[in-house]
Amino acid sequence: MYGILLVDKPKGMTSNRVVTAVKRRFGVKVGHAGTLDPLATGVLPLLVGEATKIASHLLHDRKVYETVMHLGVVTDTLDAEGQVTDRRPVPELTAGDMKSVLDRFVGDSEQIPPAFSAIKIDGRRAYSLARSGREVAIPSRKVTVYSMELRAMDLPRVTVRMEVSGGTYVRALVRDIGQALGCGAHVEELRRLVHGPFRVERAWKMGDIMNMDPESFAGALRPMFAAFPDVPKMIIDRFTAWTLLTGRTAEETKISEDDHMVVLLGDNGHELGLGTIGKSGLKPLKIFGKFIQEYVEDRRKENVQ
Q: What is the pLDDT of residue 296?
A: 87
Of 37, 208, 213, 258, the active-site residue reads 37
Give the HSE-up count for residue 10: Cα atoms under 13 Å, Cβ half-sphere. 11
Are 195 and 61 a contacting pair, CB within 8 Å? yes
Q: Is 37 an active-site residue? A: yes
- Check if the beta carbon of residue 5 is closer than 8 Å to that of residue 222: yes
Question: pLDDT value at position 121?
Answer: 58
pLDDT at position 35 is: 86
pLDDT of 299 reads 80
What domains sit in the chain, N to C, each tagged with a CATH number? 3-61+197-226 (3.30.2350.10), 63-195 (3.30.2350.10), 231-300 (2.30.130.10)
Q: What is the pTM of this model?
A: 0.90
pLDDT in tens, 180-199: 999 999 999 999 999 999 99
CA distance 169 to 254: 40
Q: Note the pLDDT of residue 301.
A: 76
Low-confidence ranges of the chain (pLDDT < 50): none
